[in-house]
Structure 1
Amino acid sequence: MDVEGVIKEGEGQELEFKRSLAERKEILETISAFANSNGGRIFIGIEENKDGSVKEIVGIKIRGREIENMSNDIKQNTDSVVYPSIEVKEIEGKPVLVVEVKESPLKPVFVKIGGIPVAFKRVGKTNQKMDANELRRVISEGREFLWDSQVCEEASLDDIDEEKVKWFLRKAKYERNFDVDPETPVDEALERLELMKEEQLTNAAVLLFGKKPQRFFLKAKTRCARFKGTEPLEFIDMKVFGGNVIDQRDDALGFVKEHIKLHAKIVGTERKEDWEYPIEAVREAISNAICHRDYEISSNVQIRIFDDRLEVWGCGPLPKPLRVEDLKRKHPSVLRNDLIGSCFFLIKFIEEWGTGTNRIINECLNHGLPEPLFELIAENLVVTFRKYKITEDVLKELNERQKKAIDFLKERGMITNKDLQKLCPGVTRETLRKDLKAMIGKKIITKKGRKRGVYYELI
């Protein structure tokens, strides 16, 4: 490489100058941008002018294991991991660090900036953050690298359940007006669904329509359990569901219905039955867990039912760039398993608008339950549906003011002293304070905040 000839061209699409290693954040951003574009080189130890030309070769002092440490820093803070070439070149008698980054075949490449994964692209001599639409496009273009679109080498059409394919086509036609005749030959139908590559089955085809998918993917199962009490110690019932992922979703929901209560109540003059958890929200959570799980991880989707909650455990964290906190607000739809997701969409198991978690939250609130919890536990996404710990026996022990507070809390999620005063006009502050203190003592509510910012929530 003619180093001096390269740097004379100045900064551009595939070239960046940095004065020192102290510009770590900018170096990482450039590595992401090069990896997501056509590759490039970063020269560290060169100060540039505003127009991107070389101002001065300042050089760089290399101490001890600095190059090794830099390489490890890049590996630990990029996903997909970038393995750059790093070497020292002498320019005008001064050592300059040259970091060469190749275009990544596994795009997008994210870097952690302040602990948050962000992807960049290279535009001229600048790095620009990729927006949601660009991320979707890049992910779509890289579909061939996604696990569910890879060929399942050992599987053949003999391993596909023809009746399940016909059932799917009928349902897809009914739900989404999918224009493929249910009597279409299996191989042609799978081609139309993009579930075959050069006459070979994809992993998604086997999981969706395989007679025995676990012959190829042993851990592709859903494990369901009803525990006694509130800890995962003693089983009341436990089942493991195999077969195709469509049936697993229905079997898991059936297990839930066997182990949660169906309440009857009178609304006006009609008798209405309601599950203790909103069944549509539970169905959505199970569908998401099965659709979005990491099938390369040797664990199962799990449904855990306790006396006070229901947990849906996925396998693996959220697909990049989503974070747990994004699930409670508007966010893009990012599929880990694009083909499985597309097929689940066709039969209305999921929507491809990133609205599923918002529907889960709204269903719980409309059901009179607290918001579900979305957590990463041991690198697995867990959705927890919770009950309010207020039984009829507890309500009988409360006075009318306290019952009003409970109703307000169920509707709003929190209550302040001022809120309670408005609910109970004419009642002294001291009396209301004692009401709240008594509810804290009964472990019905908890006190949050300080001084004028004090408020109360249901436990």
Structure 2
Amino acid sequence: MCDVERLISTGENEEIEFKENFDFNGILETAVAFANKRGGVILVGVRNNGAVVGVQIGRETLRDWANRISQNTDPPVIPELEVEEVNGKKVLCIKIDEYPVKPVMFRGRAYLRAGSSNKRLNAREIAELYYRSIRHSWDYITVNAGLDEVDFGVVGKFVEAAKSRGRLNVPDGEDLETVLEKLELVRDGEPTRALILLFGNDPQKYFPHAVVRIARFRGSEIEDDITIDGNLVNQVDEALKFIRKHINVRFRIGGKAQREEVWDYPPEALREAVINAVAHRDYAEPDEVQIKILDDRIIFWNPGKLPFELKVEDLYKPHPSKPRNKLIAKVFYYSGHIEKWGSGIGRILRALGEYNLPEPRFEEVFGGFQVTFYRDVYTEDHLRNLGLNDRQIRAVLYVKEKGSITNKEYQELFKVSRQTATRDLGSLVKLGIFERVEKGKYKLKTQHESNMSQP
């Protein structure tokens, strides 16, 4: 049984769609979208708001719609059709199963269910959907090149590192080409795209856009920049060196009187952000990974949006690993660059939290995925450079610790009149440091909302 009433009470979502009438294009697009995702149910005779209006249905109607769906989808989708009555009105239930090999198309177009709507896929997304359905990825395809294009010295170092971490079991004496074949990095004697990118002598010969561009900005002017090529591990290492060169580090005495380095941003978070950008980017797109270092933030952008199964809001909670480039991700895991599947974003959030820095901003913008880290600009030195008086500086540091301050608290802390407190707090609001959240109460603006900037 379809259990129409239960489905209506659930509402439209990734697996349920309401149709008021027999909308041919709408039903076929949704059938294809369901077949390309996890399957779903189309209820015909139900308005978007869940009101049942019913439809006229006979035996011929059922047979006709089963034929129309199968004949207009490629490969053919075979639906299950049932009719149920709700309050004396007939509702047609069209059940669509997930199709094993994707994409399924309608009139040469592929659709994918996203929330309660259908998304039309472009050529790149269709290719990615196909690779995923056959449990492969873009980097699995072979390159028309010989193994002389591979730096076996680098391969050997990788194998030793993976063995020392206990992540790769290689029998003594096994030759490196056999190891690469077992890792699926070599197929039928030819290197895969992953192998060239990871261990090639000159990966940019085959993939010229597989580089990382980094720039240090001072205001709107570029102070220093670099384009990093070579294999992917080299790109990660060199990118981190450049970033460290252009951010500040100070020292503090830690446990056992040892000196500890404290950077503007936690090294662990920087490392994870760079690895994610390099390992999970879309290499089919003709763009580079771009990193911008500004006075108050660092922006990491890579070509390619999140995998179909993930939304931006999912990143702030535990989520499964969905690597776009499965072979590249596997090698990064074996080498220790990826500590644990699906843990990278969590490590970033935890590391920034331990540094008392704001949460990063995750966005799908400019056809790619972007992560922004925000520096703690609410330091005593910087606040003094902005021209704040001693009371205002102490007030900002107070709010950093306590979370908020009221006009009355300001008066009591600094032994000033209400008029002075109002003037000081108003100035902090104008500078974009505080925001007024309710009558007489102020808190710090999140740094990506603030109009503050470092000198």
TM-score with structure 1 length normalisation?
A: 0.69
**Equivalent of residue 106 in structure 1, options 102, 105, 126:** 102
Do 2:301 and 2:368's aligned partners in 1 also have CA atoms closer than 8 Å?
yes
Paired residue secondary structure (2:164): helix
Residue aligned with 2:303, SS: coil
Paired residues of 2:32 and 2:112 also in contact (CA < 8 A): no
2:274 corresponds to which of 286, 289, 294:
286
Residue number in structure 1 paired with 2:21: 20
Q: Are 1:394 and 2:395 counterparts?
A: no
Equivalent-residue separation in structure 2 for 1:21 and 1:398 (angstroms): 67
Residue 324 of structure 1 pairs with residue 324 of structure 2: no
182 and 420 in structure 1: CA distance in 2 versus 1, 3 angstrom threshold: farther
* 1:389–1:444 contact (8 Å) kept in structure 2: no
**1:191 and 2:181 equivalent?**
yes
**Partners in 2 of 1:394 and 1:102 — Cα distance?**
57
Alignment pair present for 1:256 and 2:246: no
Q: Please show how residues 211-222 of structure 1 align to structure 2 within 5 Å.
A: 211-222=201-212
Partner of 2:334: 346
Could you say which residue in structure 2 is the equivalent of 1:147?
138
Whether contact under 8 Å (1:148, 1:339) holds in the other structure is yes
After superposition, the Cα gap between the structure-2 partners of 1:143 and 1:257, relative to the gap in structure 1 and judged at 3 Å, is same
Q: Aligned partners of 2:76 and 2:378: how far apart in 1? A: 61
For residue 153 of structure 2, what is the aligned residue in structure 1?
163
Measure the CA separation in 2 of the matches of 1:26 and 1:411.
Answer: 55
Q: 1:312 aligns with which of 297, 300, 319?
A: 300
* Cα shift readout 1:353-383 (whole Å, capped 9, x = no counterpart): 3221122122122223222221222121111
- 1:123-154 Cα offsets, whole Å, 9 max, x none, are xxxxxxxxxxxxxxx9866223x1011111x1
Written as runs of structure 1 = structure 2, the 5 A alignment for 1:202-217 is 202-217=192-207
Q: Which residue of 2 aligns with 1:77?
A: none
Q: Secondary structure at 1:286's aligned position in 2?
A: helix
Counterpart residue number, 2:89 = none
Q: How big is the shift at 1:249?
A: 0.7
Report if the CA contact (8 A) 1:167-1:182 is conserved.
Answer: no
Which residue, out of 151, 163, 175, partners 2:165?
175
Specify the alignment match of 2:124 in structure 1: none
Label 1:224 to 1:184 Cα distance change in 2 as closer, same or farther (>3 A).
farther
**Letter of the structure 2 residue corresponding to residue 316 of structure 1:** G
CA positional deviation for 1:456: 3.9
Closer/same/farther in 2, CA of residues 355 and 417 from structure 1, 3 Å limit: farther
Match of 1:438 among 427, 434, 451: 427
Percent of paired sites with the same residue: 33
Decide whether the 8 Å contact of 2:36 with 2:112 is kept in 1.
Answer: no
Give, in angstroms, the shift of residue 160 of structure 1: 0.8
Q: CA RMSD in A?
A: 4.4
Which residue of structure 1 lines up, in the alignment, with residue 364 of structure 2?
376
Count of matched residue positions in the alignment of Structure 1 and Structure 2: 380
SS at match of 2:336: coil
Aligned partner of 2:204: which letter?
Q
- Separation in 2 of the partners of 1:308 and 1:110? 39
Q: 1:100 to 1:311 in 2, by over 3 A?
A: closer
Secondary structure of 1:254's counterpart equals helix
Offset at 1:448? Answer: 5.2
Q: In the alignment, what sits opposite 1:32? A: 33
Distance 1:440 1:448, change over 3 A: closer
Q: Structure 1 residues 361, 398: CA separation in 2 closer, same or farther (over 3 Å shift)?
A: same
Matched, 1:357 2:349: no
For 1:334, the equivalent position in structure 2 comes to 322
State the shift of 1:398 in Å: 5.4
Q: Report SS of the residue matched to 2:445.
A: strand
Deviation, 1:352, is: 4.2
Q: Distance in 2 between matches of 1:150 and 1:175?
A: 28
Show CA shifts across 1:74-121 (max 9, x none). 9xxxxxxx86789xxxxxxxxxxx999994633697313345879xxx
Task: Return the alpha-carbon distance in structure 2 between the equivalents of residues 277 and 193 of structure 1.
Answer: 35
**1:387–1:26 distance in 2 versus 1, CA, 3 Å:** same
Q: CA deviation at 1:155?
A: 1.7
